[in-house]
Chains A and B, each alone.
Chain A
Amino acid sequence: MNYALKRKILLGLEALLFAFLSWIFFTFVSSVFNAVGSAIDVKPTMLPYWLSVIVLIYFLFVFHLILFPKSEKKLLLTYKINGIVLASLALIAALLIIVWVANGTYASMVAGVLTPLFPLDFLLFDFIVAGLGIYFAFFLARKTPAPETKYYPYEHDMVRRVFSSAFRGLYVLFSLYFTACFIFSLFMAKYSEPSGWELFFIWFLMAVPAAYWAYHDWFYMDEAHTRTGDIKRSLIAIIVSGSLVLVMLIGILAVPNFIVENATGLFMLDYMKSWNAAPYLMSLSALIPAIVALISSLLEKKEVAKVEDKETK
């Protein structure tokens, strides 16, 4: 199999993993907030499950790092260190599940409630991730990467690297949640009733973060891009996202209660706490990356102009 095809398959797998984990993360958020809100029940009933989800999300991050390595050295380090950590965490999570079943915290290997096969399904996920971690750490880390492997070295200083890594990490979590909302909304909409199509107003907005990632991973990273091009791209993204925010606002104006009527299941945190944060968070998550990219490109353009100006003088 040639490198380009293999890479496309891996990118496809990453997208599938992202969609699958969006559902997993959505349920995880519900579980964590339920436990936090349950003042009396402080027993760590769901600890093995939470750890299993953290392992799965961590795997997504590692998979991304493998697909977009900074250098050969970093790639081998990623395989080795992250492989060992992944395998260790996954095995701990698996062990905890077995212990929780043994001590009766989970009634059986298929106690159900969360999913019909819980916790067996998460035990299997743990074993799969543990196997992959071992494969990364003890097989791939010892092999020289294929010569055609493309690397994506850092372009910025340390401060910006740290900031963007933290921001991206957080943004992945928001994206996972809103992607799940998008997928669920397709099933939840009451198409047969007059209010059913109101979710249409926020469908696209919910999908924007995932669309950003898809564009970033599938096109942007492998393209030759110029600063002028980046500014144009950012502006287009702002206009498109801004328009979607506007459409949602029109939706709220036209049918003020449409989110309550059709999306309580999607934004359960809002309703558990009687907040109304989801529309704002969705708007921000659609606009912020594009605005940050625009500011960054403009600043860089200015810096380059300054340097060129100095050199000319």
Chain B
Amino acid sequence: MKHRTLAVWLLLPLLASCGNAKDVTIAAYFAMNEKTPLVYRDGFKVLQLTDIHWSVNTNAKVQGEYLTRVVKEANPDFIMITGDSLLGATTSTAETLMKVIESWQIPYGTTFGNHDREGEYSPEWLTQLWSSGKYSYYNEVQDNVFGRSNYVIPLTDGAGKPVWNLYSIDSNSYPESKNGVYYDYDVIHTDQVEWFKATAAESKRLAGATVPGLAYFHIPLFEYCYQYVNEHKNNTQPVLGEILETSSFSTAPEEIKKLFADAGMTTEDIKFWPGYMNTGFFDAGVANGVQGFFCGHDHSNDWGDYYTSTAGKGYVSYGVKSGTELYYTHSDKRNVDLIGGSLVTLRGNHFDLEHIYVPTDPAAAITRSASISIEVNK
């Protein structure tokens, strides 16, 4: 600790010369500030694309046409891309992907995934790129809240009153290496959770009641593991999808290892890669109207189920990986490649969810899961 103090004192003049804390109003986080507000209607569709993983090796024509088929099949009103859009990309790679997304002429938002930061550009450059799109609702506010893609996209009643909220939250990338050898995955930090509560409160103030919402982020929460273990203990089936990751998270956080061990499972059964701790985002979410939690990160999982904590009930779900880049898997049970997208249709105070599996062969038939009505308030 003494060394640390000494180092901080040595560096103080350097650090003091740079930057200052930035205070911003809560309204700045609402993406409707600069873009045309999105008006809610019954049946408003939100397509989740995730883990597109465009890299320098990507065949832009093939992958671009594939993603376009997914979007055409879903015919959404809004697209939310939940991170890892890029992997080891150059600026040219990112710009090529952006052109494809813009070509759809559909409003969209993007969240940062852990791999989006790993390219030949600064995160600021990528932020500017995401913000520059004509159809982009990406809204990064210059603030002191941890992470980058923390913003809200309100669907309004046309008069400015939010009816549904789509929350984009940066689940960040990696915390400092605890043992100096490997990195864990990061989490939604506690100040982000506080930020979320403040934006939900602002929505409530504007609407006069708690506004239902969907939260989109990249790295799964601990609650995904909690519910999976519940299924194992109670011998129940998930609402949608499967857990098909083949490798296991041998360096998972101790709490997760214990959770699995207590349920008679082993580390080999941990096919989830959550962050290093539970920072309470699920509880804050369900307490403030969030009904669905949607992540990416684990490409071979398209699983989703209800989870109930002391704070309330929510639906936790993986998105279907979009595109073939890096890796994806095949479900023998359903005889589909787990690639495509996840489509939410908003219905009053609940939503329908279906997974769309789009094969790489344009001539092959597209498979849609049953459309499940997700009702957390029942």
Q: Tell me the A residues contacting B by CB distance below 8 Å.
A: 26-27, 30-31, 33-35, 37-41, 45-46, 105-107, 111-116, 118, 184, 187-194, 196-197, 200, 250-251, 253-257, 260, 264-265, 268, 270-272, 274-276
Contacts and interface: CB of A to CB of B under 8 A. Distances in A.
B177 interface: yes
Interface string B113-149: 0110111111110000000000000000000000000
Given A188-B121, A250-B7, A260 B57 contact: no
A113 B183 CA distance: 29
Contacts of B7: 250-251, 253-254
A114 B93 contact: yes
B210 to A, nearest CB: 35
A206 B182 CA distance: 21
Interface string B242-281: 0000000001000000000000000000000000000000
26 contacts: A27-B90, A30-B56, A34-B88, A38-B57, A40-B327, A107-B59, A107-B60, A111-B61, A112-B96, A113-B56, A113-B59, A114-B90, A188-B121, A191-B18, A197-B14, A197-B18, A200-B14, A254-B7, A257-B175, A260-B173, A260-B177, A264-B173, A265-B121, A274-B182, A276-B182, A276-B183
A174 to B, nearest CB: 18
Given A34-B88, A112-B92, A188 B61 contact: no
B118 A256 contact: no
A34 B119 contact: no
Contacts of A116: 92, 95
Given A40-B328, A46-B57, A272-B115, 17 more contacts: A31-B55, A34-B57, A35-B57, A38-B57, A38-B325, A40-B327, A41-B324, A45-B57, A45-B59, A46-B56, A105-B59, A106-B59, A113-B93, A115-B90, A254-B10, A265-B123, A272-B88
B4 interface: yes
B324 to A, nearest CB: 7
B49 interface: no
Given A113-B92, A268-B119, A272-B88, A260 B18 contact: no
A254 B115 contact: no
Contacts, number: 150
Instruction: For the complex of A and B, list the 7 residue pairs with the smallest distance between their C-beta atoms, beginning with the closest.
Output: A30-B88, A254-B7, A268-B118, A107-B61, A188-B122, A256-B176, A257-B176
Contacts of B95: 116
A40 B19 contact: no
B90 A254 contact: no
B364 interface: no
B22 to A, nearest CB: 10
A160 B174 CA distance: 42
B327 A274 contact: no
B55 A40 contact: no
B193 interface: no
Q: Is the interface of B mostly helix, strand, loop or mixed?
A: loop
A27 B90 CA distance: 8
B367 interface: no
Nearest to A270: B183
Contact of B57 (A31, A39, A272): A31
B68 interface: no
B209 interface: no
A34 B118 CA distance: 12
A288 B186 CA distance: 33
Contacts of B124: 190
A135 B60 CA distance: 37
Interface in B175-215: 175-177, 180-185
Nearest to A105: B59
A114 B56 contact: yes
B15 interface: yes
Contacts of A190: 122, 124
Contacts of A257: 175-176
A275 B56 CA distance: 22
Given A188-B122, A265-B117, A270-B183, A34 B56 contact: yes
Name, among A31, A197, A200, A265, the residue most crowded by chain B CB atoms within 10 Å (CB to CB): A265
B87 interface: yes
B56 A31 contact: yes
A274 B60 contact: no
A190 B88 CA distance: 20
B326 A37 contact: yes
A27 B120 contact: yes
A115 B120 CA distance: 11
Interface string B306-329: 000000000000000000111110
